[in-house]
Amino acid sequence: MGGYNPPSIIRKEDRMGKLIDQKAIKDLNEAVLKSMTECKNNGVAWTPPFTGKKRGLAYNMFTDHELTGGNQIIALFFGADDRWGTFNAFRKNGMKIRKGSKGVTFIRPIILKKDEDGKDLEEPKVIGFKDYTMFNGADVVDIDADKDELTQKFESMEVSVEDKHRVVQAFVDNTGIKIEHSELARCYYAQSSDYVHMTFKSNFTDLNTYYSVLLHEIAHATGHKSRLNRLEKTDSYAFEELVAELTSMYLSVHFELAHEPTKDNATYLNAWIKGLGDDETFIWKASSEAMKAVKYLMKLTKKNDWKDKIDRKIETTIEELNSKAA
């Protein structure tokens, strides 16, 4: 394929320069470049620091919304906890930030919703970006102090790897994406026929590796013209591979599975490092596309309900116990 030309995350007349100037972009690009370069020098696939840890996708704990776009990878790279909030939000809720803690810079789009006459625009326009700061849950003193003992006990319960694999398999089954298995020792997404080919599970060293690869290939499938139509908008194979790898990583984080990088991961490191050097927004764009894929699959399968069901079960149990105690 041709040179790097990923789809822009800014529409038409909006200026990329306003995004490049942001501190958050520079900090992220520097951190990812360092991480990838270290992996390349060590002759290993890129494994970001946030993979393999017990945590979910990063979210604003006061709005309960997951961080979107490039902000997700910023949060995962620079925070040990999946909970985030602004200084004022923590303070209003009676929480104290540890002395010496430094906030992390994120990006918020400046959206124009009305024209010069005050009338609503048919389509809101992104006219720029601005930095804002949030603190990680790990920076908050006694962040779990208000949780009762039973809630903390439920949240600390371990889910078996076998159960996690069953959840991921159900998630995959409900995407509706066609998956074929054979003895052929290759895994790929066939865009023209719109199906994923996987070698049999028995050909993998373990099931974590199998599901990491499967999620990677399904990520490619989200780019089909009948879905997010991403594949026809880029002529950079390396960029698409990074989108798929990030999507697989994010889903692994969501399902609390240890992510195993694909074999091709290491072969793309040179291209990814070049992309980071040529364009400071490279990783931001890739993360944005990956989060679109994650959200699309979540909506498609409605399987993000599995965690909600656990939460509801906890709440119901607590309510029942409290009513009995009363």
Instruction: Give the number of other CB atoms < 10 A from CB of residue 322.
Output: 11
In sign, the C-alpha dihedral spanning 253, 255, 256, 261 is negative
25 burial level (CB within 10 Å; 0-12, 13-18, 19+) = buried
**pLDDT the model gives residue 55:** 77
CA 60 from chain centre, in angstroms, equals 14
- pLDDT, average across residues 34-49: 93
CA 97 – CA 120 distance, rounded (Å): 40
CA 251 – CA 242 distance, rounded (Å): 14
Give pLDDT tens digits for 201-215: 999 999 999 999 999
* Phi, psi of 292, deg, nearest 5: -60, -40
Tokens standing for residue 310 = 């656990």
CA 209 – CA 204 distance, rounded (Å): 7
Give pLDDT tens digits for 73-114: 999 999 999 999 999 999 999 999 999 999 999 998 888 888
Is residue 284 within 8 Å of residue 69, measured between CB atoms? Answer: yes
CA 18 – CA 254 distance, rounded (Å): 31
Tokens standing for residue 128 = 């720029």
In angstroms, the first-to-last Cα distance of the chain is 68
- Residue partners of 186: CB distance under 8 A and separation at least 6: 197, 199
Q: What angle do CA 32, 35, 37 make, to 5 degrees?
A: 105
Give pLDDT tens digits for 224-268: 999 999 999 888 999 999 999 999 999 999 998 989 998 888 899
* Phi, psi of 189, deg, nearest 5: -110, 125
- Helix H or strand E segment including 204: none
Give the C-alpha distances (Å, rounded to integers) separating 248 from 53, 146, 229, 319: 15, 34, 18, 37
Give pLDDT tens digits for 114-151: 888 889 988 888 787 888 999 999 999 988 867 666 55
Of 98 and 10, the one with more pLDDT: 98
Give the confidence band of 32 by pLDDT, cuts at 50, 70, 90: very high
Give pLDDT tens digits for 158-214: 788 999 999 999 999 999 999 999 999 999 999 999 999 999 999 999 999 999 999
Note the pTM of the prediction, 2 decimals. Answer: 0.83
